[in-house]
Structure 1
Amino acid sequence: MAKLKINYLHEKTQNNSFIIKFAMIILAIVLICIFLPKQPRFRYEFQKGKAWNHDNLISPYNFAILKTQQELIKDREQILKTVQPIYNLNLSASKEQIDQFNTDIPEKWQISNMDSVEGQSLEVYQAVGNALLNYVYDRGIVSLNNRYQNKGEDPSEVDNTKSQYNFTLLHENIAQQKNTADIFTIESANQYISASIEKNKKIGRKTWFTETLKAYVTINYIFNENLTNKIEQSALTNISTTRGVVQKGELIAEKDKTINNETYQKIESLRKVFEDEARISGNQSYVAFGQFIMISTCMALLMVFLFYFRSSIFENNRLIFIILIVIVAMLGVLSWALNVQIPSLYYIPYCSVPIIFRVLFDTRVALNIHLLMVLIAALFVPNSYDFVFLQFIAGMVAIYSIKTLVKREQFLISSLLILITYTISYIGLVLTRNGSLQSIYWSDIIPFIVSVGLTLLAYPLIYAFERLFGIVSDLTLMELTNSNSKLLRELSLKAPGTFQHSLQVANLAEAAVYKVGGNPLLVRAGALYHDIGKMQNPLFFIENQKAGANPHAELTPEQSAQIIISHVLKGLEMAKKNLLPEVVIDFIRTHHGTTKVDYFYNLAVKNNPEKLVDESIFRYPGPVPFSKETAILMIADSVEAASRSLKEPTEESINTLVDKIIDHKITQRQFINANITMRDLTEVSDIFKSMLKSIYHIRIDYDVNKKSVIENA
């Protein structure tokens, strides 16, 4: 009855898990459908410079041909050339300055002791000054605007003698057409005053009077920027965005003929007209339903891949949630970028997604998800072929460039490789389409640079996902394998022999995993921490003992066995207390599996020949290894420990030792839950034999008369 109840609860839990998973997938599909634009898409794919690979394209109706961006820019420049700037006449400025001159001149005359100068009259100076100021202000004083000087000319060909321009002068709602050549600037007005005074024989103190008058020269033609801008904008709105008309029934593109500039512009115009009309008249429900079908198909393929090839991810709803939320978020950002019409979609760090999934999961998962996202994005981005090609190629480089993450600078190297890939691929696309180096605009590389820079944000995102969802990435494993970490530093101080043993085991296991496949960083981290429980009683373990008294000599075999076995349980306690990841803790609990402490078990049987020895006292609690990495660590741990007890380490003795240990583990059914094959075990054996030839550390025996190994730890 109890068994039936347990089965029922297990089945109910599985059903609930499946319902949650299904609900998350449906919600993700719906959200993506909401993000996607809701108008039908033009069904033809085409590129300038390539052949038209469809049937002859006949115009279904009359439509105008859109101008190219270059044509619109040229029209804009021509229009702006015709717009004259607006200036306002400021009468008060001239009146204030002349009045101020008449007020100040008597005082300045006295201060300068002009009364003592023979033949000079204040009235003459004042009259000349008024005449000169009135003349320059009547003619007008303006500040030239660089915006209109040499308008539309190449800056390298500017002729400063021809930098004058026409403008419109407004005063009391009356407009006058003028040219700056007929108007003073402050500099030219001062020069005119200086020259006039120099010619005037009635003025004796020419320099003094010239400097005095210059103080009353100011601008009285004021540039009206707001009104000028309004006139320019009004003129620009009248620019026609089209040129010519394609008649209904007219041949637009002929099958297998190269698409030249004119044909390309006609097809592009037809596409724009088609999508604009479809947006108004198309059935939005049908479009949404079609998108739902396509996105559901993509999502279903992703789930099938996870179900068959990454079942551990498929069965974990937290991991499924991470995958879905990243996909939805990135497609949402892409849709937002389209809606706000950012200058280039390539500003978006699309390659951060494959990097995140490569670090959190593995290469195949990252590649499949990246392919899925690129295909979905192709449903609604313009120039979808270019986008798919560039993003897929760059994404593959991003994934492959961090195949094995052992250094943090690999992120920078990966970013550089992505940028190089973007640049080379972009140049290739432009050359194949236009066949000209002049068509390559290096400013188009800027979005790629920004995107690659933003891709580095993947690093803090990975950290956030690890903390929020309890995932262990290669970055975390790298931190754990640092020998300066708290636990490893403590292990090296309290149990230096165990620490050295762990380092050797890590080297052996890592080399084997590199060969047969798996996560080298994970197995190295597991190897470094697998024996941390020995810190509690380090002298009871042979690698930490020095020649002399053996603490096991005063204990019964049962007591010794329990101390040896307890290092696993104590290691688990220490690991959990120090918040080690569960995947690393798995190595601690499985590195001895359910094997026996053979030496002390045999000793107990020998000491009590007529007594039935309880075997469970001498057996590790398990469980047995359940992955390739934990299985390899078990072998490496036993092989390294046993090799230290070889009295005469020769090639033959090492080969025999490794084969015997692996056979013994197989006989004890320690690998029944691990995904490791006989071929893997053979390759692991060869690697261990090769590496152990350089390791000849001899361990002392618990009993000097015994040649057997105490235990495989």
Structure 2
Amino acid sequence: MEKFQNQLSKLRNLLDITFFRILLFLILGMILYASMYNNVKPEKMNIKLFSVANQTIRSPITIEDKESTERKKKEAEDQIQDVYVLNKEIAENRVDLIKSIFDASTEVKEDIKDSQEKAVKEDASNFKMPTLKEQVDLMKAKLTEGVTEDVSDEVFAALLQASDPTVQSASDLTVTAINNVMTSRIPANQVENAKKRVEEELKFTNLDSNVKKAAIELGRFAILQNEFYDSVTTKERRQQAVEAVEPVKILQGQIIVEENQLISRDIYRQLKLVGFLDNQIAIQPFVGLGLLILIILSVLYYYFFETKEDREAKQNHLLLFSLIFIINILFMKAISLLQQFDYAEIGYIFPVALGAMLIRILIDERLALQFTIILSLCGCVMFNEGITGNLNVNVGIYIICGGIAGILFLRKQNQRSKILRAGLFVSVINLIVIFSLIFLKNGHLDISDFIFYLVAALISGAISAVLTIGLLPFFEAGFGILSTMRLIELSNPNHPLLRKILMEAPGTYHHSVMVANLAESACEAIGANGLLARVGCYYHDIGKTKRPQFFIENQMNIENPHDRLPPQTSKDIILAHVKDGVETLKRYKMPKEIMDIAEQHHGTTLIKFFYYKAKEKNADVKEDEYRYSGPKPQTKENAIIGIADSVEAAVRSMRQPTPEQIENLVKSIISDRLSDGQLNECNLTLSELETVANTLCDTLKGIFHSRIEYPEMNKQKVKQA
């Protein structure tokens, strides 16, 4: 394991060089491209015209079939018949014309009668009755030339010879017959039939034979075409019909030819249109895949090299992420190969939450979410067998939901024992997602489908949990990572070392808990790792369990043994607790960060009490002999723990400290650490130290706040006095 960590250290150093950093991303890109190349490669088929299809072929794309669209438009245009309009004014005009003919006969009669009466009054011998022909001529003079040419003289003569009531009756019957016929449409080819209908209607009237013949002839004369072709409206309607035709599209997933179906010319044309017969290699899918990978790598590069993290952590996280990412991609590719055996939905077995949970535990939640999104995009491409197109959106949604479910479950449940529960939770979410996708498509499930999806969802969640538990120790040990989950486990009071402190040095245990509260709040105030500080405080004085009675917090109702010892011996005992603590932590294989806290929390500070005590006896005592061996704190957390350790011990020794005393004490200790150079090797700024001081003061004021003294308490104090 040490050899592996040395190799990782060399790799981390190489990542400081831009060339090797870019090379790592190029390797990731090549792995992604190679794993998804076959999934986007266009499928070519050896298909001949009028042959029989040996499989059902679906369209891989959505494309417009322009030839079918034009044919459909032509059919829609042809279906629109010519538009003819009914001219109602023609019927009214013809009725008026026929009435005028009947009226003209009556007028001629009245004119003759008036002339006769006038002649009788003046001189009857001068009056000569007009002949019938002359009467007809008089009647023609009252009518238009078109009427006189088309209507025979016999009609005029019959009307002139008939009585007025007969003429009126004939007029009414003729007008009625004309109206009855001309209210309906009369196209050009139906005029003669319309005239016959008028003739038939008038034939059975009770008019005199001559008048009846005249009425029939006038009725036939009145009938004209009243329906005419409307070219403008016809053109508009045909244009509307053409515009209403939707483009004919071959939809993605649409069946072009069924298995064992003859490939006709139209089917052959459609196959060529969607690209199955194109012998040229289409580069668009490969370009699209390259662009997708470029976007993925760009997002990752920005995250790792533009976010605020120290150099070593950033490089460590990049290597860890790359390894987890490659493992998941190779796992996904291996499962996707099973699609060749007609297992189109095998993608649901993929452990969707494996990588997300590992990154959530080992690095952080934000990167885990990014990883889940990237993995879902890769899954959309890899599990595209048996579907139309290059993207299986269902699997992509499945991976996103399962990954996010694992991340959210572990958000506040970081214990290793909770991973199995997270796997079960992921399985439930997987099953819900599968059913939701099926029901959204109005799909139906039989019992075999239900069993398959249930098993697939359970396998996905179970494998995610089992592999996460199995790989965690490897990553934690190999990369030297102290994960949040590991820290929470170490904070368990039932841990053997914590129980050892509690049982053997209860005062030290209480002191450690108080320091943990102070250090955690101060670290979180400046954005440092508060959980690491808390857990480190629990173990920072583990060395005191070797000689607990030599430390003041454990001297309950016993004499201080240092009173009987020389300063040199006392100094050695005090200094030894750091070394003893580190050795104990090593023996229990505790994380390096915890051992660093135990080793660095005193830095190289001076044990002032015993130093000055020794100096009283021997002025030549060297100060370096009474200083801790260090090293000085190397991180913010270690420095803050050292400050909190001194502050808690100092405040605890005060009797009823006031807020002002607490503030002065905290600032004095921090100032002393600064002047002594104890904070020179950590990256704490003066601004952060000010925040740390304020936070420590606020926390201490809450712990040592003044209490209200009740009367009985005052009486007890008087009695004790």
Q: TM-score, normalised by structure 1?
A: 0.57
Give yes or no for contact 1:378–1:384 (8 Å, CA) kept in 2. Answer: yes
Per-residue deviation, 1:398: 2.6
Separation in 1, partners of 2:12, 2:359: 28
Q: 1:63 to 1:506 in 2, by over 3 A?
A: farther
Q: Report matched runs for 1:83-162 at 5 Å.
A: none
> Is 1:35–2:35 an aligned residue pair?
yes
Per-residue deviation, 1:359: 0.9
Name which of 671, 686, 704 aligns with 1:693: 704
Separation in 1, partners of 2:302, 2:422: 30
Instruction: Decide which structure has the larger Cα Rg and report it.
Output: 2
Unaligned runs of 5+ in 1: 1-9, 43-61, 65-236, 697-713
Per-residue deviation, 1:264: 5.4
Q: Report matched runs for 1:5-44 at 5 Å.
A: 14=13, 18=17, 24-38=24-38, 40=40
Aligned to 1:172: none
Per-residue deviation, 1:426: 5.5
Give yes or no for contact 1:628–1:674 (8 Å, CA) kept in 2. Answer: yes
Q: 1:373 to 1:281 in 2, by over 3 A?
A: same
Q: 1:241 to 1:455 in 2, by over 3 A?
A: same
Name which of 493, 505, 510 aligns with 1:495: 505
- For 1:566, give the aligned amino acid: A
- For 2:700, give the aligned amino acid: K
Aligned to 1:207: none
Separation in 2, partners of 1:692, 1:429: 55
Per-residue deviation, 1:483: 3.7
SS at match of 1:456: helix
Aligned to 1:108: none
Aligned to 1:614: 622
Name which of 436, 449, 455 aligns with 2:464: 455
Give yes or no for contact 1:314–1:320 (8 Å, CA) kept in 2. Answer: no
Aligned to 1:345: 347
Aligned to 2:233: none
Name which of 404, 409, 412 aligns with 1:401: 409
Per-residue deviation, 1:582: 0.7
Q: 1:330 to 1:274 in 2, by over 3 A?
A: farther
Q: Report matched runs for 1:16-415 at 5 Å.
A: 18=17, 24-38=24-38, 40=40, 249-250=67-68, 263=251, 265-266=253-254, 277=276, 281-282=280-281, 291=289, 294-295=292-293, 298-299=296-297, 301-309=299-307, 311-312=309-310, 320-341=318-339, 342=343, 343-382=345-384, 383-415=391-423
> Is 1:543–2:542 an aligned residue pair?
no
SS at match of 1:358: helix
Give yes or no for contact 2:56–2:255 (8 Å, CA) kept in 1. Answer: no
Q: Deviations over 1:277-318 (max 9, x none)?
A: 49975378x976875665355335424422343655766866
Give yes or no for contact 1:503–1:528 (8 Å, CA) kept in 2. Answer: yes
Q: 1:449 to 1:687 in 2, by over 3 A?
A: farther
> Is 1:565–2:553 an aligned residue pair?
no
Q: 1:528 to 1:287 in 2, by over 3 A?
A: same
Q: Deviations over 1:410-437 (max 9, x none)?
A: 4355445545654665666667x65x59
Aligned to 1:154: none
Per-residue deviation, 1:451: 1.7
Separation in 2, partners of 1:606, 1:503: 36
Q: Deviations over 1:502-555 (max 9, x none)?
A: 233334434555565444443233112111222333332111224454332344
Aligned to 1:533: 543
Per-residue deviation, 1:469: 4.0
Q: Deviations over 1:50-84 (max 9, x none)?
A: xxxxxxxxxxxx999xxxxxxxxxxxxxxxxxxxx
Separation in 1, partners of 2:586, 2:417: 30
Q: 1:39 to 1:439 in 2, by over 3 A?
A: closer
Separation in 2, partners of 1:577, 1:368: 39
Q: 1:579 to 1:272 in 2, by over 3 A?
A: farther
Separation in 1, partners of 2:518, 2:40: 59
SS at match of 2:625: helix
Per-residue deviation, 1:596: 2.1
Give yes or no for contact 2:415–2:486 (8 Å, CA) kept in 1. Answer: no
Give yes or no for contact 1:571–1:588 (8 Å, CA) kept in 2. Answer: yes
SS at match of 2:38: coil
Aligned to 1:225: none
Aligned to 2:647: 639
Aligned to 2:593: 583
Aligned to 2:201: none
Q: Deviations over 1:17-56 (max 9, x none)?
A: 75776655544433333222336478xxxxxxxxxxxxxx
Per-residue deviation, 1:348: 0.6
Q: Deviations over 1:450-481 (max 9, x none)?
A: 32222212122212322444433334334433
Name which of 637, 641, 664 aligns with 1:629: 637
- For 2:642, give the aligned amino acid: M
Structure richer in helix, relative to its length: 2
How high is the sequence identity, in percent, across the aligned residues?
26
Aligned to 2:710: none
Separation in 1, partners of 2:545, 2:603: 20
Q: 1:536 to 1:651 in 2, by over 3 A?
A: same
Give yes or no for contact 1:592–1:624 (8 Å, CA) kept in 2. Answer: yes
Q: 1:294 to 1:13 in 2, by over 3 A?
A: closer
Separation in 2, partners of 1:616, 1:445: 70
Per-residue deviation, 1:587: 0.7
- For 2:406, give the aligned amino acid: A
What's the Cα RMSD here?
Answer: 4.8
Separation in 2, partners of 1:287, 1:262: 19
SS at match of 1:36: helix
Aligned to 1:222: none
Q: Deviations over 1:237-261 (max 9, x none)?
A: 9886679x99564469xxxx99999
SS at match of 1:282: coil
Per-residue deviation, 1:353: 0.4
Give yes or no for contact 1:512–1:632 (8 Å, CA) kept in 2. Answer: yes
Separation in 1, partners of 2:248, 2:426: 32
- For 1:339, give the aligned amino acid: L
- For 2:331, give the aligned amino acid: V
- For 1:502, give the aligned amino acid: S
Separation in 2, partners of 1:409, 1:496: 29
Per-residue deviation, 1:686: 4.9
Q: 1:302 to 1:240 in 2, by over 3 A?
A: closer
Give yes or no for contact 1:501–1:543 (8 Å, CA) kept in 2. Answer: yes
Give yes or no for contact 1:593–1:621 (8 Å, CA) kept in 2. Answer: yes
Separation in 1, partners of 2:620, 2:279: 90
Q: Deviations over 1:177-218 (max 9, x none)?
A: xxxxxxxxxxxxxxxxxxxxxxxxxxxxxxxxxxxxxxxxxx
Q: Deviations over 1:570-625 (max 9, x none)?
A: 222232233221111111122112322233334445666xx465332233233333
Per-residue deviation, 1:321: 3.9
Paired residues, number: 487
Q: 1:649 to 1:686 in 2, by over 3 A?
A: closer
